[in-house]
Structures are given as structure tokens and as C-alpha cells.
Structure 1
Amino acid sequence: MYRELMYLHLATVLPCVVLGALLFAMHKGTRVHRRLGAVYMVLMLITASLTLIMPAMVGPRLFNHFGFIHLFSFLTIYTVPTSFFAIRRGDVREHQIGMIMLYCGAIVIAGGFTLMPGRYLHGLILG
């Protein structure tokens, strides 16, 4: 079961790596930006939800399940809707800050943690 969840997680997060970078690089506010942004936000929420089901395998755990890595899941579940509603009410700055925090925290930092020794991706990629 864990392996299947991990593959689902990878299937939702890997497109976000590319989409997020693309969204940062493209002109803001266009129809394409809004549509790709919506896909990005939905995929990030799915990713965060999946990770909450997956137990931490490295480091200390709370309730024998949650690890420090799960903090990024909660960051995502908070940041996606607040950033969405910020842009809906015209608060571009709050939206930008939220999206930068989300990408840096949930993609770059959490993604970096997946390459630590003892993690599945570390063994898969760095063998």
C-alpha cells in the first residue's frame, strides 16, 4: 500500500515541479497562467493529501505516523486556498508570497528531503 501511495504522490508532485517553474517564468494574469495555476493548485492539494496518509519513514514520528516532512503538507493545505482567495480578491502581493512559499517549501525543500539517505528516492536515484 505504501508503495502505491508513493507512486501516486510522485505522479501528482512531479508535474508540479515543472508547472510551478513555468508559472513563475510566464506572464502573469493571462488565461493560460490562470488555467495552469488552477491545475497546479489542485495537484498540490492532492499531493499534500496523499502525503498525510503516508507514514514518515525517517526521523522522529508523532503518533508513530507524522514526521517533520508532514509540516510541508500542512503548509500546502493552508497556502493553496489562502493564495487562491487572495488573488480572487485582487491581493496580488499575498498571492505571490503564498505561491513562492509553496514552491520553495513544498517543492524545493521537501523535495530535497526526499533525497536524504534512508528515503526511497535516495536509493532509487543515488543508489
Structure 2
Amino acid sequence: MLILHIWASFLGLALGALVLLGRKGTRLHQLLGGMWVSLMAASALSSFWLGGGVLPLVGHFGPIHLLSLWMLVSLTLALIAISKGQIRGHQRWMQGAYFGLVGAFIGTLMPGRWVSTQLGIW
């Protein structure tokens, strides 16, 4: 699960930036956006099998898992919005999802987190 989580998360960081910065409503936007949603769902779902590490809240779940929940809620509401033609709502939820991912990434760089220790940051 760790490898799936890492790959989906890092690819999602890059692809999400491309989708957010690119032209909206095109076939390419829809294709890349669909890929991004799939990566983010895989990242969020796989995180529940990984330990929270720092500040466990319940069992092995930590604060970082709240961002996984945020991601799943944001993705769902963004897809519902676009299916109803609510473009502005879709944009807001997708932006919120992406910034949640950025927040989760920053969280992995905090002291005691696996990524920060592997990168030798702390």
C-alpha cells in the first residue's frame, strides 16, 4: 500500500497542477482530470492502511488521515457539481482537493514522518 500511496500522491501533485493551470472544459482537461481523480482516490484510500505516525488520534489513524477524508469528500462533491453543470462549485471543490493534497504533502515533511526521515530533513 505504501508504494501505491506514494506513486499516486506524487503523480497527483504534478498532474493536478497541470489540470489546474491548463485550459478548462476541453477533452484533455476531462481526460487528465479523470486520471487525477483516480490517483487521488487511490492515494486517499490507500492512506487508511498506513499509520498516522505522529499524534495518533484513534488506533493508527492520525491527523493526516483527516486530509484523506477531506480528499474523498471534495472529489465526490466536485463530481456531483460538474454532473449538475455547476462549474463554479466544481472548480472550488477541485481546488480545495488539490490544496488538501498540498497540505498533506507538507504534513509528510514534518518531524517524525516517514518521508521526512527518508529525505533526511529532520
TM-score by length of 2: 0.94
Q: Secondary structure at the match of 2:48?
A: helix
| Unmatched 5+ stretches in structure 1 | none
In 2, the alpha carbon distance for the partners of 1:109 and 1:53 equals 19
CA contact (8 A) 2:4 2:42 kept: no
Q: Which residue of 2 aligns with 1:53?
A: 49
In 1, the alpha carbon distance for the partners of 2:69 and 2:114 equals 22
Q: Secondary structure at the match of 1:53?
A: coil
Q: Which residue of 2 aligns with 1:120?
A: 114
1:16 aligns with 2:12: yes
| Unmatched 5+ stretches in structure 2 | none
Counterpart amino acid of residue 89 in structure 1:
K
Task: Please provide the CA RMSD for this pair.
Answer: 1.1
Aligned-residue offset at 1:124: 1.6
Tell me the matched-pair count.
121
Aligned-residue offset at 1:78: 0.9
TM-score by length of 1: 0.90
- Between the aligned residues of both structures, percent identity stands at 35
Aligned-residue offset at 1:61: 2.3
